[in-house]
Amino acid sequence: MLDFNFSEWAVVALVALVVIGPKDLPKAMRVLGYWVGRARGVARQFRAGFDEMIREAELAEMEKKWKEENERIMRLHPPTPPDVIDHAPAVADGGGEAAPVMVEKPAVAPAPEETPADAAASGEKPAS
């Protein structure tokens, strides 16, 4: 790209000083800085737009791959209708959802017996 070393910049500065003159050189540098800033802004905006287009293309490609993978999975494992499943609840006549069905039986443990020491700690009289 543009590769300037110190001696080349020194020659450009010397030519600018001779051609523009020391009186108008600060104004010329301000104008040059303004236009360089504008050019950088345009380049930044172009790059951001280009990056956005690339991101959108990648997103569309990913969505296409996800859709293909989803279709492949659905072909391999088709959904089972609820009326075929043993534990599926029947839909109520009103068209609403049926009550949930418990599949596993819960394990119920007996409550621990209270000892006289526990009763004394809680402030109750022990049962006789």
**Whole-number average pLDDT of the chain:** 81
| pLDDT higher than threshold 70 for residue 46 | yes
Q: Which residues of 20-52 are buried (b: 16+ CB within 10 A; e: fewer)?
A: eeeeeeeeeeeeeeeeeeeeeeeeeeeeeeeee
| pLDDT higher than threshold 90 for residue 41 | yes
Lowest mean pLDDT among 24-33, 78-87, 100-109: 78-87
Could you tell me the pLDDT band of residue 115, with boundaries at 50, 70 and 90?
A: confident
Question: End-to-end distance of the chain based on CA atoms, in angstroms?
Answer: 99
Q: What is the pLDDT of residues 59-99, one digit of tens each?
A: 999 999 999 999 999 898 887 776 666 665 555 555 556 66
